[in-house]
């Protein structure tokens, strides 16, 4: 241990002696490590942001929908197989039987015009019939007002929860809570306003009106109307198990025999999240390749510096051997020197990388991230590069004949 500390001191003295070229090498190493750590920190920030945003948009939710098929089966000319719609009675029965938080919703219109006094919305407002659990399963939050009560959804009261775009369009300088708006030929009292979701939300989450599901059935009902069941899982890790339980329960509700196929389908709300996270893997790979290539270049530069250092310090090496230093000690001296230079560059690169990566975190609004895995990987990589770069110069120094080395000028 004492020998290692002494070699580190000698390495630092050598760095001060050849300051300019050593600093340049340290900076090249720092660039490689900062590229690696910085991009990985930024990626972790982006992953955190994606997961957080899609959780708010219902990534812990899956939907049970009517199964449809447009593929022709059997002999040529056979009509596509049609599956029975999920009825309101079936959806309600499932909700009563299933343990997790469950909501029932149905599409009412996507071309509605909403009116407030003489002001009208664009004719592309989405109207959805929902129950009291829909806000939770769909990942909505209220900016003001309140949710539907269970009684309001069951008796079909004329109340409505509106999106941010509807507020901006109809209620300039007016508090919408308690105001009456017209949807179709009916009037509804505004009881809540949804928090802004943005254009990335499904179906344009800010240009929507939610009304009690019984009211939607009364005024927007149609033949073979199908209802969507949404189930919220408290933990993402238990989502797959909850889906399995839901499939079994739905088969019972629909009276399916064991040999019959499912006549409904499950859609997960986190599919987009999975796709985005999958694509980010390629960015991670690109960052790793950039970092390794940069470190390879710096390794060549470091090896060159160490070879020059051996030549310049030939007399010093001869003196050390003459007073008792073995070839092994000389070899370790130059190896440790190379590793020290790499670690100085690595530490600088890690600091820069964390700062650069967390600028991304600050910009997208996520918390400060310290990528410990990549920090430790960077340190290990620097040790490896130092050993590889220093091996040949160290071996050359260790093989020098002390008498010839002392004669060197």
Asked whether 161 and 209 are in contact (CB, 8 A), the reply is yes
Is the pLDDT confidence value at 23 over 60? Answer: yes
Each residue's pLDDT tens digit, 201-221: 444 568 899 999 999 999 998
The three-class DSSP label of residue 114 is strand
Beta-carbon count within 10 A of 349 CB: 29
- Under the banding of pLDDT at 50, 70 and 90, the label for residue 248 is very high
Q: Where are the domains of the chain?
A: 2-54+274-407, 61-269
Is the pLDDT confidence value at 315 over 60? Answer: yes
Is the pLDDT confidence value at 360 over 50? Answer: yes
**What is the per-residue pLDDT for 407?**
60
DSSP-assigned beta bridge partners for residue 212: 130
316, containing H or E segment: helix 314-322
Query: How much of the chain, in percent, has pLDDT values that exceed 90?
Result: 25
- For the segment 363-386, the average pLDDT, to the nearest whole number, is 79
- Closest listed residue to residue 85, CA positions, set 211, 240, 196, 217: 217
Asked whether 162 and 182 are in contact (CB, 8 A), the reply is no
What is the value of pTM for the model shown? 0.56
Each residue's pLDDT tens digit, 99-141: 888 999 999 988 899 999 889 988 889 999 999 999 988 888 8
Q: Mind giving me the DSSP string for 136-154?
A: HHHT--EEEE-PPPHHHHH
Q: Mind giving me the DSSP string for 224-260?
A: T---EEEEE-S-GGGHHHHHHHHHHHHHHHTT--TTS
Query: How much of the chain, in percent, has pLDDT values that exceed 70?
Result: 84
Maximum average pLDDT range among 160-164, 234-238, 346-350: 160-164
DSSP-assigned beta bridge partners for residue 34: none
- For the segment 84-110, the average pLDDT, to the nearest whole number, is 91
Is the pLDDT confidence value at 376 over 90? Answer: no
Tell me which of 5-19, 49-63, 125-139, 251-265 is least confident: 49-63
């Amino acid at each position: 241990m004492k020998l290692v500390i002494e070699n580190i001191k000698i390495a630092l003295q050598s760095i001060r002696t050849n300051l300019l070229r050593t600093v340049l090498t340290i900076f090249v190493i720092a660039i490689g490590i900062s590229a690696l750590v910085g991009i990985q920190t930024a990626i972790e920030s982006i992953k955190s942001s994606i997961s957080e945003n899609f959780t708010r948009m219902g990534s812990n939710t899956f939907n049970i929908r009517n199964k449809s098929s447009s593929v022709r089966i059997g002999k040529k000319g056979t009509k596509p197989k049609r599956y029975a719609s999920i009825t309101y009675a079936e959806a309600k029965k499932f909700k009563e039987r299933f343990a997790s938080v469950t909501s029932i919703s149905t599409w009412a219109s996507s071309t509605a015009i909403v009116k407030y006094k003489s002001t009208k919305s664009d004719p592309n407002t989405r109207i959805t019939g929902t129950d009291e659990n829909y806000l939770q399963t769909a990942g909505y939050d209220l900016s003001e007002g309140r949710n539907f009560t269970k009684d309001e959804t069951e008796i079909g009261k004329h109340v409505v929860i509106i999106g941010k775009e509807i507020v901006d369009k109809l209620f300039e300088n007016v508090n919408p809570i308690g105001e009456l708006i017209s949807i179709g030929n009916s009037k509804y009292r505004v009881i809540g306003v949804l928090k802004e979701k943005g254009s990335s939300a499904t179906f344009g989450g800010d240009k929507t009106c939610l009304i009690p599901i019984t009211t939607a059935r009364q005024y927007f009902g149609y033949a073979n109307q199908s209802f969507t069941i949404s189930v919220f899982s408290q933990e993402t890790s238990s989502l797959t198990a909850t889906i399995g339980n839901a499939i079994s329960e739905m088969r019972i509700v629909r009276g399916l025999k064991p040999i019959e196929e499912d006549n409904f389908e499950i859609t997960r709300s986190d599919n987009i999240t999975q796709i985005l996270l999958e694509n980010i893997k390629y960015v991670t790979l690109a960052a790793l390749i950039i970092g390794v290539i940069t470190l390879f270049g710096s390794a060549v530069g470091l090896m060159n510096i160490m070879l020059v250092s051996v030549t310049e310090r030939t007399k010093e090496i001869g003196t050390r051997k003459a007073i008792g230093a073995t070839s092994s000690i000389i070899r370790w001296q130059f190896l440790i020197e190379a590793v020290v230079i790499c670690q100085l560059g690595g530490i600088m690169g890690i600091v820069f990388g964390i700062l650069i990566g967390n600028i991304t975190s600050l910009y997208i609004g996520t918390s400060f991230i310290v990528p410990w895995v990549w920090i430790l990987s960077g340190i290990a990589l620097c040790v490896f590069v130092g050993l590889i770069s220093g091996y040949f110069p160290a071996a050359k120094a260790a093989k020098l004949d002390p008498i010839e080395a002392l004669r060197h000028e």
